[in-house]
Structure formats: C-alpha cells, structure tokens
Amino acid sequence: MHIAKAKKIIPALAYCLGRIPQYLAHPLSKWERIYSTENPWHLDHPGDVYRFEETNRIISENIGPVEAILEIGSGEGHQTEWLLNLAQKVRGLDISATAVRRSRCKFANNPNATFSVGRLSDIPTDERFDLVTAFELIYYVNPNDIPRVFNMMDRIGHKRIVSVFWPQRHLLENHLFPTRSAARQIIYWEDEPRWLAAWW
C-alpha cells in the first residue's frame, strides 16, 4: 500500500522540484502560476462588476469621451469589456502571457481590443493614449517604483486614472496626492468604503 502511494507521490514531487529553477530564473512566472486557473481574481463577483460600472461612470462624468485607452494590468479582459463602451480602441497590457492569450481569445472578433505581453516601460516613448488606466494594480508594484509608474503614465497618457482597494489607499496618499492635483472618489459597496479611485 505504501509503495503504491510512493509511486504516485515521488513523480509529482520530482515535477514540482524540477520547476523551481524555472521559477527562480523567470520572475514573471509568479503571474503564470496565478493564471494557471481561469479568473483567479473572481472578477465576476457582484462587487467587482459594480466597481467596473462605477469606474466607467467616473470616466464618463469626469474625463469625458476618449478614443484610445491603455489598460495596464488588463488580465483576462474582464474590465476591458467595460472600457470598450467608452473608447473606440482599448489596448491591454499584462505581464502574464496566459492572461493575454485568454484575452485575445475572448476578443478575437473585436478589432477594437488588442493585447500585448509586457510592462509599462515597454511602451514606446512616442506612443500616446487619451487615457491610461491602472485599476487594482499599484499594490503589486515595489513601493520605490510607484513614483516612476505614475511618471510613465503621465508621459504616455493625456489623462490617467487608478484605483486601489480601500485598505491600500495609503499608496495613493503617499505617492500620488502629494505630487499631483488628482481628484478622488470613494467607491462604496454594501454601505462600506471598498475602493478609492483617483484621476488627474
């Protein structure tokens, strides 16, 4: 009985151990592990759908019509679907090749949505967008690099908008509001502050 179990466990253990060098060599592999399951963030949850609605409303009311949006951290395209209601073209950027592949499949019949694998720093310096978004993204950035991310958003976006989970609002209070005259709005869910959106 124990030998039969060992025969099953040892190959699985060897497989996991064999992948350690890959994880160490490729820092982005963390995101591939996250996206080994579809919709790992459960973005079909009613609260997130409400957040999508509210960020669309904030953009419509405070930023106005836009032709081209760059969506940083587009993931599997859940919020892209909503942003396409506001712009003629949406370009999604994500560091996970798996997430980008799923987005491309999802929007295969929509030429107004394009997706690429990479980081914000990969965007050419002469490329411009009417709006650059970074929703639920800033807390995955090294705190020392957050000012640089905002600077890059300034460089390529005519307008910019970010959102963070309410308990992480200090990231905007520390890195965004002291250096930019950004407007802000709390997004409530179930009568509690749940997210903070800021645009400038």
Which residue ranges make up each domain of the chain? 2-34, 46-199
Tell me the HSE value of 30 on the side-chain side, using a 13 A CA sphere: 4
Position 4 scores a pLDDT of 59
Report how far residue 110's alpha carbon sits from residue 107's, in angstroms, rounded to the nearest whole number.
5
3-state secondary structure of 119: coil
Position 61 scores a pLDDT of 98
Higher pLDDT, 18 or 41: 41
Q: Identify the weakest region by mean pLDDT among 27-31, 45-49, 99-103, 107-111.
A: 27-31
- For the domain 46-199, what is the CATH superfamily, name and number? Vaccinia Virus protein VP39 (3.40.50.150)
Residue 112: what are its φ and ψ, rounded to 5°? -85, -5
Whether 139 has a pLDDT exceeding 80, the answer reads yes
Predicted TM-score of the model (pTM) = 0.85
Q: How far is CA 70 from the centre of its chain?
A: 11
How confident is residue 29, by pLDDT bands cut at 50, 70 and 90? confident
Host H or E run for residue 79? none
How confident is residue 16, by pLDDT bands cut at 50, 70 and 90? very low
Mean pLDDT of the chain: 91
**80-130 pLDDT per residue, tens:** 999 999 999 999 999 999 999 999 999 999 999 999 999 999 999 899 999
